[in-house]
Amino acid sequence: MKCTLVGSRFFGAKVFEALRNDGAEIARVVAPAADDRLALAAQQAEVPIHLLENPKNVPGDAIADGTELIVAAHTH
Q: What is the pTM of this model?
A: 0.95
pLDDT at 30 over 80: yes
Question: How would residue 70 be classed by pLDDT, with cut points 50, 70 and 90?
Answer: very high
Domain map of the chain by residue range?
A: 2-73
CA distances, 39 to each of 1, 49, 57, 60 (Å): 21, 7, 17, 19
Alpha-carbon 14 to chain mean position? 11
* DSSP structure class, residue 64: P
Q: What is the pLDDT of residue 22?
A: 96
Q: What residue type is assigned to position 20 of the chain?
A: R
Architecture of domain 2-73: 3-Layer(aba) Sandwich (3.40)
